[in-house]
């Protein structure tokens, strides 16, 4: 097989192989989704801590006032 024929054969196989052609973008989408999930979890955690802190502060205020 000549070098040109091998190159064409390799390119055709790359196009025919969905794991190679689709796998890379899917991996990038997976990484993006994981980063988004981490960001959302951090926002939810921060909001939950703020609410908890406010509730504990209110309860402590009522307890100290009593």
The yes-or-no verdict on residue 43 having pLDDT over 80 is yes
* 2 lies in some domain: no
Any residues with CB less than 8 A from the CB of 36 and at least 6 apart, and which?
none
Report the domain count for the chain.
1
Q: First vs last Cα of the chain: how many Å apart?
A: 92
Residue span of the structural domain in which 43 resides: 22-66
Helix axes 18-65, 3-16, angle to 10 degrees: 40
The yes-or-no verdict on residue 21 having pLDDT over 70 is no
* 66 lies in some domain: yes
Phi and psi at 2, nearest 5°, equal -80, 165
Pair of tokens at residue 11: 């390119």
The yes-or-no verdict on residue 50 having pLDDT over 70 is yes
The yes-or-no verdict on residue 61 having pLDDT over 80 is no
Q: What is the pLDDT of residue 52?
A: 80
- Across residues 54-66, what is the average pLDDT? 74
* 64 lies in some domain: yes
* 7 lies in some domain: no
């Amino acid at each position: 097989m000549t070098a040109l024929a091998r190159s064409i054969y390799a390119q055709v196989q790359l196009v025919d192989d969905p794991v190679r052609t689709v796998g890379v973008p899917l991996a990038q989408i997976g990484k993006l989704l994981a980063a988004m999930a981490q960001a959302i979890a951090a926002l939810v955690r921060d909001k939950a801590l703020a609410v908890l802190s406010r509730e504990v502060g209110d309860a402590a205020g009522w307890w100290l006032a009593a």
